[in-house]
Amino acid sequence: MEFKLKTISKAGIAEAIAKAELYRYLNEPEEAESICRDILAIEPGQQMALRILGLAITDQFRGNSEDRCAEAVKAFQSLTNRYENLYYMGILHERRAKAQMNAQYAAHSLAPLFHEAMRCFAEAEKIRLEGNDDTILRWNRCARLLQTHPEFDEEQEPAGFDACDT
């Protein structure tokens, strides 16, 4: 049986965003994702909904072929603020690397993901607002992971890196 989705009102967007954030905090990313899709159905470029959607998708990464990396990339690439685009793409790469690390992927396949995350964070750092150290905090976390896992080949740089490769 197929059900027709109902449309939320534009007046309810702010409340829906608050609910999506709450569901992410409650570790219910599927609920947050559903709410964001309802918002984007009536306001396709809604920046907060795109950001939360991308994060909710990356919250679900398990380090396997079912990870919907391309969907998260699409959401983050739709962010119009260059800083946010870079910062959230960095988070995507970092989360993919961590999920694959937890899934016991080989270290040589993880290092390029961490390197790409750090590249995104470094680029975002250049254009961040004064006092916003989020990119530095994320970069440092990636650096610490690389430092504490000697099996990572820190000299390896990704060539022609695609966000959803590996």
How many whole angstroms separate alpha carbon 36 and alpha carbon 13? 9
Residue type, 116: E
pLDDT tens, residue by residue, 116-149: 999 999 999 999 999 999 999 999 999 999 988 7
The whole-number pLDDT of residue 77 equals 97
Q: Domain ranges in the chain?
A: 1-60, 65-166
pLDDT tens, residue by residue, 72-89: 999 999 999 999 999 999
pTM equals 0.89
| CB within 8 Å of 127: residues ≥ 6 apart | 82, 83, 86
